[in-house]
Structure 1
Amino acid sequence: MNWYLEVIKNNYANFSGRARRKEYWMFTLVNTIIITVLYAILMSSIDMYTGEMSSLGSIAGIIIGIYSLAIIVPSLAVTIRRFHDQDKSGWMFLLAFIPAVGGLIVFVFMCLEGTKGDNRFGPDPKA
């Protein structure tokens, strides 16, 4: 949870520097858990027979929308800093928009180890 809060509080829109794998994956894990819980609340509030949603579902839907908008910038920032850790340009993020395989390509890059020592984007975050 500390890694998630670190990205939100201190690196919300920080696109410079480097992010180690642990920072990226802990942020992604907590983010996924939050979204999953919110969607579970949303889906459980829908009546299976009538398809009507309770007021709790409406609130959950609004919270999902607000949270999704609020998390775009830090998600993009930590992904770009993860590319920087591998001495690659943040523009590599655009690979995610290649239909069918783009997300997989970015996933593989996010799993790769960063460059050891300093690179053009800053000092080694593990040091």
Structure 2
Amino acid sequence: MIGSMVRDILAAWLRGYSKGLSFRGRESRRDFLSFLILHYLLFYGLSVAVIRLPDAGSTGIKLGLGLLGLATLIITLSYNVRRLHDANSSGWLCAFYLVAMAPVVILVSLLMAPPVHEGNRYGADPRHTRYRRQRQPRRLG
């Protein structure tokens, strides 16, 4: 049970990076939450580890960490847009990330927004297209 949950979380995280520049389509709430949790744990863990290095003040390390942060910001925004599409909302709502408290409000609304179970203008329901093929019951015997 735990092994399949970890596998699903890792699959959602890797899918987020494989579709990192795609702002089309939809993502389920579970995949979105799995991606965010693992993504931020790894990114902040890496940031803390790099800051504790003896040469943490060097320009190269700061530049590398800044570029990594920019890349992960783009990937996270694309995942947010796909999650908004699942709730049948426009991805342009992510533009409110530039306002101080808007990221918290958008994140909570993305986690709580009910999905549209049938297809919408952004594509088919991701729960019915991807998981139906993967989650076949195992035959015993």
Normalised TM-score (structure 2): 0.72
Shift of 1:26: 1.4
Cα distance in 2 for residues equivalent to 1:42 and 1:61? 9
Contact 1:15-1:78 at 8 Å conserved across structures: yes
Structure 1: unaligned runs, 5 residues or longer? 46-53
Match of 2:31 in 1: 23
Q: Does 1:85 align with 2:93?
A: no
Cα distance in 1 for residues equivalent to 2:52 and 2:14? 28
Q: Deviations 1:74-117 (Å, cap 9, x if unpaired)?
A: 11111001000000000111222333x31222022211221111
Amino acid at match of 1:16: R
Match of 2:45 in 1: 37
Cα distance in 1 for residues equivalent to 2:24 and 2:41? 27
Pick aligned residue for 2:16 from 7, 25, 29: 7
Contact 1:83-1:110 at 8 Å conserved across structures: yes
Contact 1:87-1:120 at 8 Å conserved across structures: yes
Shift of 1:124: 0.7
Secondary structure, in 3 states, of the residue corresponding to 2:115? coil
Number of equivalent positions: 117
Shift of 1:60: 5.6
- CA RMSD in angstroms, aligned pairs only: 2.0
Cα distance in 1 for residues equivalent to 2:48 and 2:93? 33
Match of 2:69 in 1: 68
Shift of 1:41: 1.3
Identity of aligned residues (%): 22
Cα distance in 2 for residues equivalent to 1:109 and 1:28? 14
Structure 2: unaligned runs, 5 residues or longer? 1-9, 129-141
Secondary structure, in 3 states, of the residue corresponding to 1:105? helix
